[in-house]
């Protein structure tokens, strides 16, 4: 079995995030990474997408980013309100996606 086939067999990581009304929404974690340098070095981030997409919602490719901390089984998510931090996360995410796409073509 190729490494790609092994990756496709892994179960997706699912997390539940409450919305404004307190209803838990299901999200799939598509990427986790840690910023290695700069002002936000050491911070961990995760990118998630909604599992259930509203049929009327045309924006099905929406990706959400959170800073996170793990303490045993507890997961704490933090919204990214700082524009500099957001730019760093977005740049890192785009770089990782581009590297992944290049690796897929090799």
Question: For residue 43, what are the domain limits?
Answer: 12-105
64 within a domain of the structure (yes/no) = yes
92 within a domain of the structure (yes/no) = yes
Give residue-wise pLDDT tens across range 11-49: 889 999 988 898 999 999 999 999 888 889 899 999 999
At 2, is the secondary structure helix, strand, or coil? coil
Confidence of residue 3 (pLDDT cuts 50, 70, 90): very low
Confidence of residue 106 (pLDDT cuts 50, 70, 90): low
Length of the chain: 106
Q: Is the pLDDT of residue 5 over 50?
A: no
Give CA–CA dist 54/31, Å, rounded. Answer: 22
3 within a domain of the structure (yes/no) = no
Q: Work out how many domains the chain is built from and give that number.
A: 1
75 within a domain of the structure (yes/no) = yes
Give the list of residues 6+ apart from residue 47 with CB closer than 8 angstroms, or none.
Answer: 29, 30, 31, 32, 63, 64, 65, 93
What is the pLDDT, as a whole number, of residue 2?
44
Q: What is the pTM of this model?
A: 0.76
Residue 49 in contact with residue 64, Cβ under 8 Å? Answer: yes
Name the H helices within 1-106: 3-9, 83-105
23 within a domain of the structure (yes/no) = yes
What is the pLDDT, as a whole number, of residue 74?
87
What is the pLDDT, as a whole number, of residue 69?
94
1 within a domain of the structure (yes/no) = no
5 within a domain of the structure (yes/no) = no
92 burial type by CB count under 10 A (0-12 exposed, 13-18 middle, 19+ buried): buried
2 within a domain of the structure (yes/no) = no
């Amino acid at each position: 079995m190729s490494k790609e086939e092994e990756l496709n067999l892994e179960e997706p990581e699912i997390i539940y995030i409450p919305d404004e009304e307190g209803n838990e929404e299901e999200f799939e974690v598509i990427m986790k990474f840690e910023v290695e340098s700069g002002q936000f070095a050491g911070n961990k981030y995760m990118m998630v997408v909604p599992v259930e997409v509203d049929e009327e919602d045309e924006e099905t490719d929406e990706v959400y980013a959170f800073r996170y901390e793990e303490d045993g089984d507890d997961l704490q998510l933090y919204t990214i309100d700082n524009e500099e931090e957001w730019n760093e996360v977005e740049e890192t995410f785009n770089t990782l996606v581009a590297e992944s796409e290049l690796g897929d073509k090799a």
